[in-house]
Structure 1
């Protein structure tokens, strides 16, 4: 009840009035049954616009830090993420990764929609990067279709590092569902998982026409951080 109240009465109408989001391919979202919505990731706001723009309830896996803040700000952040369908997960790796997988499988097991960013993190420069194979494993284990989703101009509205959004129009393009039933029972084969993941990334690339680079976004972020750290001492002189 709280989710629907916030989506359709409180948060949703305000965001739609300010940013006037548009959507193409709405019919490609299954009207019932579980499915994974695989999206590119340009901005923090991707996890807000997509759930608010589709008619069905959906969930995103969000880092647990967003749910543990203190005081009024922490409470407001927690309520906002809950209202937009976010589920807290530990992204530290190892056993936490397995727990995240199980959380996602739980959503799909209930016949709901699950949003996943195959790149694993936001793109630092608008480029589409290599996908992580967790999405393939989840799709094969749950035996659900994967719907490619491209977010448009969310990076311009709320760039990385900016705390408040700029007013601007954003868009969402929904592609045709991808069926991986031919790989049923092969979720333990790492070559199959890579093949499925690459097929998803190709679909995103074609749908959104982003520049693609076959390297992990996290690797690029590490390179940028190293380069900035190297420049820091020089800037003090």
Structure 2
């Protein structure tokens, strides 16, 4: 019941409150497996994209979101089920092979999957170099990649805050990138790099972010 209520109310309610600017909806294929590759500014990105896209988009999410108890736990499970998130164990979220395999199952079933090639959020708003998991998925599944650019989501829920704020958000969906001529070359590191760089160039064209030219690594604990 919570899942149904969330699914029916969340999308229209969020659009009414935040009034996001959405461009390029026609670029998202309505059927078949497809990857949506986006820049990454905030935790809320994985909520904004599914709520603004013209079809369900699955993202990876920590399995802990499904393990809560009481009313809060039921609400969390209902919410993540409603946006069709895919649960993975902690440590797999950053595109370890097990997480990629879970994503591949989504694509092979003809669904849409969202991914952040940068691997983790950009805290300085620059666009970091993409990791090649997105290419491995596209080449293995043989599906197109739709570049996505987000702006303003880092203002909704800045790092360290618990409650979302009402801020202007822009979501741009770019034209699909077709890599069918390279299908089956997922094991070729040079090809994976080439495809990833093309995806990141398309995201950059949409977002206009400053390029960092390096990978965005998660800080190691002291």
TM-score (norm 2): 0.91
TM-score (norm 1): 0.86
* Matching residue of 1:189: 188
Q: How does 1:1-237 map to 2 (within 5 A)?
A: 5-7=5-7, 9-92=8-91, 97-218=96-217, 221-222=219-220
Q: Are the equivalent residues in 2 in contact too, given 1:127–1:211 (CA < 8 A)?
A: yes
1:45-92 deviation digits (Å, cap 9, x = unpaired): 111111111221221112223223344333322221121221111352
Structure 1 residues 3 and 31, CA gap change in structure 2 (3 angstroms): farther
Mapped to 2, the partners of 1:121 and 1:66 lie a distance apart of 18
Mapped to 1, the partners of 2:181 and 2:83 lie a distance apart of 33
Q: Comparing both structures, which one devotes a greater share of its residues to helix? A: 1
Q: Are the equivalent residues in 1 in contact too, given 2:6–2:78 (CA < 8 A)?
A: no
* Structure 1 counterpart SS, 2:68: coil
**How many positions carry a matched residue from both structures?**
220
1:177, distance to aligned residue in structure 2 (A): 0.6
Mapped to 2, the partners of 1:64 and 1:194 lie a distance apart of 30
Q: Are the equivalent residues in 2 in contact too, given 1:91–1:97 (CA < 8 A)?
A: no
1:132, distance to aligned residue in structure 2 (A): 1.2
1:79-134 deviation digits (Å, cap 9, x = unpaired): 211212211113525xx822211211111111111111111111122111111111
Mapped to 2, the partners of 1:91 and 1:195 lie a distance apart of 29
Mapped to 2, the partners of 1:70 and 1:190 lie a distance apart of 44
* Matching residue of 1:233: none
Mapped to 2, the partners of 1:200 and 1:40 lie a distance apart of 11
Higher-Rg member (1/2): 1
Aligned-pair Cα RMSD in Å: 2.0
Gaps of 5+ in 2: none
Gaps of 5+ in 1: 227-237
